[in-house]
């Protein structure tokens, strides 16, 4: 199988993920000392490192072995596709999936799997970039993302993850959105995009920076969800 962008750029990604401030996201996860946590498509384990000492155990699952090679004990690394998690039903108190759903082949299947492995009373925290509500701008942005990174799949629309998790029997605890700025040159370097593709991305963006909306939500599985 060919190496993914993340296989090729794992060291660079690990450095950038380490520099991110995880405090706000950790607070959103509402960590508890007895929590068993799963970080789906958790990459280099930066969230796991930020949760260390606040929860009982963190498992980081991802398809990329080079990314998982950066996960440090006590966190546990497991090679797995988000769409087929190798864990029994109801085995985690907290499931996170951070800035990864837009890389996953089937986000719907991945969300169903996250809901399946969550125990009653447990939380799911999802964070990702959002598709532009305007279809033409959204299409143009998808073209840019794929030029930058062949492993980009698609940005989800507002409320898409929510609808799926509600259908899976969860409730919404909290949601927020904000806009982030990105430096185009650094963004291209992080994905190791060069040559003609990088040139075309710079032309299409047409400036040194761009803005993108990030959405974060916390969902909960009711303690008694009527399941037999």
Ligand X SMILES: C[S@@+](CC[C@H](N)C(=O)[O-])C[C@H]1O[C@@H](n2cnc3c(N)ncnc32)[C@H](O)[C@@H]1O
Point out which residues bind ligand X (CB under 6 A): 6, 17, 41-43, 46, 62-64, 67, 81-83, 98-100, 103-105
CB of 144 to ligand X, least distance (A): 16
C-beta closer to ligand X: residue 98 or 125: 98
CB of 223 to ligand X, least distance (A): 28
C-beta closer to ligand X: residue 41 or 184: 41
Distance between CA atoms of 85 and 81, rounded to whole angstroms?
6
Distance between CA atoms of 221 and 93, rounded to whole angstroms?
10
| Token couple for 149 | 């990174």
C-beta closer to ligand X: residue 103 or 218: 103
Distance between CA atoms of 127 and 191, rounded to whole angstroms?
20
C-beta closer to ligand X: residue 3 or 199: 3
C-beta closer to ligand X: residue 2 or 226: 2
| Token couple for 181 | 């700025």
CB of 61 to ligand X, least distance (A): 7
Distance between CA atoms of 103 and 220, rounded to whole angstroms?
24
Give exposure, 68-82, as e/b (b: 16+ Cβ within 10 Å): bebbeeebebeebbb
CB of 222 to ligand X, least distance (A): 26
Cis peptide before 74 (omega within 30 of 0): yes
Residue sitting closest to ligand X (CB): 43
Q: 155 burial class (0-12, 13-18, 19+ CB within 10 angstroms)?
A: buried
CB of 63 to ligand X, least distance (A): 4
């Amino acid at each position: 199988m060919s190496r993914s962008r993340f296989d090729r750029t794992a060291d660079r990604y690990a450095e950038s993920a380490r520099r991110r401030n995880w405090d706000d996201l950790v607070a959103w996860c509402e960590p508890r000392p007895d929590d068993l946590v799963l970080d789906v498509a958790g990459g280099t384990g930066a969230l796991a490192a930020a949760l260390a000492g606040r929860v009982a155990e963190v498992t980081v699952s991802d398809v990329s072995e080079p990314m998982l090679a950066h996960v440090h004990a006590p966190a546990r690394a497991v090679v797995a596709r988000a769409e087929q998690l190798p864990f029994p039903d109801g085995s985690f108190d907290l499931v996170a999936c951070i800035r990864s759903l837009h890389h996953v082949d089937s986000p719907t299947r991945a969300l169903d799997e996250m809901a399946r492995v969550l125990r009653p009373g447990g939380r799911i925290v999802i964070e990702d970039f959002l598709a532009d509500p305007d279809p033409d701008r959204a299409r143009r942005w998808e073209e840019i993302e794929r030029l930058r990174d062949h492993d980009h799949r698609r940005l989800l629309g507002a409320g898409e993850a929510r609808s799926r998790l509600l259908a899976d029997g969860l409730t919404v605890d909290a949601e927020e959105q904000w806009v982030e700025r990105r430096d185009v040159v650094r963004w291209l370097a992080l994905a190791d995009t060069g040559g003609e593709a990088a040139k075309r991305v710079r032309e299409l963006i047409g400036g040194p920076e761009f803005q993108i909306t990030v959405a974060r939500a916390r969902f909960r599985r009711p303690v008694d969800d009527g399941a037999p």
